[in-house]
């Protein structure tokens, strides 16, 4: 008996180590992806496409959990308060970098309580106009605005959105007075611009594309830093006013403290997906140019955007809807 016990004892650490390795395998159960918008919208569709791709790669379900409300604060708070084990992830949009300045009562610290994982892609913001507006370029619009200060207005999908703030940046750099008319969403803003109630519209290019092709709106310029390969024929504002740019970002975040090995794996898998021709083509169809950045690159992007938008928010007097 003693002899058998002596033989068995050295094996106990081996079995224990094997058990630890088995527990460390990730993911070993479903992963939850928190989306800050209701089902049916473009960000929800992009999140579901990513969830399916990651599910196929991981061999585990990635379940989309829609938590809309408060400019993405409700969804982000769910992520911030979740166990940091890699089984709760969140979709972050441009408001992730805007909210720290726009909202003084966030229930989490954007930089301390959340771990950037990867920027999945970017959406291009466009300045459209009613076809009757006697301006078809940034230069012509600025000249018109200088001749008629305060008489022009632009619609946006809401106060404090990236669409609103990048236009305020243009106004600050050029000194023109164009009145902001905030709406609750892009669709009603589109309707009023097409109907002639408001002459200008700040929109996502993907949402405007069909209306532009139909001649119901006309493009003035994109706010991307340079002309994107997906939309090469529309000029960008920076060609006329250098330094004025902004995009709508979509990324993935995790609770702070999530093991870096897991964060790195998720980031690498998102980057791999973004380089996949089929997946990238589907994102482009949804209006999202694939990126697939590292955690460090996405962290730098968020921090830079917080610094970029803070003075614009304060100067514009933007308030959370």
Q: How confident is the model at residue 318 (pLDDT cuts 50, 70, 90)?
A: confident
Query: Which one has a higher pLDDT value, 110 or 18?
Result: 110
Pick the CATH number of 124-239 from 3.30.470.20, 3.50.50.60, 3.40.190.10, 3.40.50.150: 3.40.190.10
Q: Is 186 helix (H, G, I), strand (E, B) or coil?
A: helix
What pLDDT was estimated at residue 213?
96
- Over residues 122-175, the pLDDT tens digits come to 999 999 999 999 999 999 999 999 999 899 999 999 889 999 999 999 999 999
Residues 144, 254: Cα–Cα separation, whole Å: 46
Domains 30-122+247-316 and 124-239 are alike in CATH topology: yes
- Predicted confidence at residue 184, as pLDDT, reads 83
Q: How far is CA 151 from CA 131, 147, 174, 178, 235, in A?
A: 17, 9, 16, 7, 25
CA angle 142, 148, 153 (to 5 degrees): 75
Question: Is 22 a residue whose pLDDT tops 90?
Answer: no
Using one digit for the tens of pLDDT, what is the confidence trace for 104-125? 899 999 999 999 999 999 999 9
Query: Whole-structure pTM over 0.95, yes or no?
Result: no
Count of helices and strands (H, E) across the chain: 12, 10
| Residue spans of beta strands (DSSP E) within 81-232 | 88-93, 114-129, 152-156, 178-182, 200-204, 218-222
Per-residue confidence (pLDDT) for residue 185, from 0 to 100? 84
Tell me phi and psi for residue 187, to 5 degrees.
-60, -50
Q: Which residue has the higher pLDDT, 186 or 64?
A: 64
In this prediction, residue 81 has a pLDDT band, given cuts at 50, 70 and 90, of: very high
Counting residues of the chain whose pLDDT is more than 90, the rounded percentage is: 81
Average pLDDT over all residues of the chain: 91
Asked if pLDDT for residue 247 goes beyond 50, the answer is yes
The count of residues in the chain is 321
Look at residue 80 in the predicted model and tell me its pLDDT.
98
Spatial separation of the C-alpha atoms in residues 229 and 213, rounded to whole Å: 18
The pairing of beta strand 152-156 with beta strand 31-35: unpaired
Q: Region 80-98: what's the mean pLDDT?
A: 97
Q: Which fold has domain 30-122+247-316?
A: D-Maltodextrin-Binding Protein; domain 2 (3.40.190)
Listed in sequence order, the residues at least 6 apart from 306 whose beta carbon sits closer than 8 Å to its beta carbon are: 97, 100, 101, 110, 111
Domain range list for the chain: 30-122+247-316, 124-239
Cα-based distances in Å from 44 to 37, 48, 78, 107, 321: 6, 6, 17, 23, 21
CA distance 49 to 277: 14
Residue 148, both tokens:
């008629």
Is residue 3 predicted with pLDDT exceeding 80? Answer: no
Q: Name the band, by pLDDT with cuts 50, 70 and 90, for residue 321.
A: low
Confidence band (pLDDT; 50, 70, 90) for 6?
very low
Q: Are 117 and 266 in contact (CB under 8 A)?
A: yes
Neighbours of 319 (CB within 10 A): 11
Rounded average pLDDT over 295-302? 98
Mean pLDDT, to the nearest integer, of 190-218? 96
**255: enclosing H helix or E strand:** strand 247-255
């Amino acid at each position: 008996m003693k002899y058998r016990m002596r033989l068995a004892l050295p094996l106990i650490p081996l079995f224990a180590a094997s058990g630890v390795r088995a527990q460390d395998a990730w993911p070993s159960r479903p992963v939850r992806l928190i989306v800050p918008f209701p089902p049916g919208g473009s960000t929800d569709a992009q999140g579901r496409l990513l969830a399916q791709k990651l599910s196929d790669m991981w061999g585990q379900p990635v379940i989309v959990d829609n938590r809309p409300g408060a400019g993405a604060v409700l969804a982000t708070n769910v992520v911030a308060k979740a166990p940091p084990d890699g089984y709760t992830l969140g979709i972050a949009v441009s408001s992730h970098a805007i909210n720290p300045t726009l909202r003084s009562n966030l229930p989490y610290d954007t930089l301390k309580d959340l771990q950037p994982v990867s920027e999945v892609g970017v959406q291009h913001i466009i300045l459209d106009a009613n076809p009757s507006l006697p301006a078809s370029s940034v230069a012509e619009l600025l000249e018109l605005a200088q001749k008629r200060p305060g008489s022009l207005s632009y619609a946006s999908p809401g106060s404090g959105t990236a669409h609103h703030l990048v236009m305020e940046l243009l106004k600050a750099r050029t000194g023109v007075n164009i009145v902001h008319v905030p709406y609750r969403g892009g669709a009603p803003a589109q309707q009023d611009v097409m109907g002639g109630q408001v002459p200008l519209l700040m929109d996502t290019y993907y949402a405007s594309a069909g209306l532009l092709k139909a001649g119901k709106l006309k493009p003035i310029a994109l706010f991307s830093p340079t002309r994107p390969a997906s939309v090469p024929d529309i000029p960008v504002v920076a060609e006329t006013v250098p330094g004025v740019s902004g995009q709508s970002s979509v990324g993935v975040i995790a609770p702070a403290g999530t093991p870096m090995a897991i964060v790195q794996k998720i980031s690498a898998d998102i980057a791999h997906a973004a380089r996949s021709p089929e997946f990238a083509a589907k994102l482009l169809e949804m209006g999202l140019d694939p990126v697939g950045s590292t955690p460090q690159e996405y962290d730098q992007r968020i921090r830079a955007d917080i610094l970029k938008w803070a003075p614009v928010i304060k100067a514009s007097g933007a308030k959370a809807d």
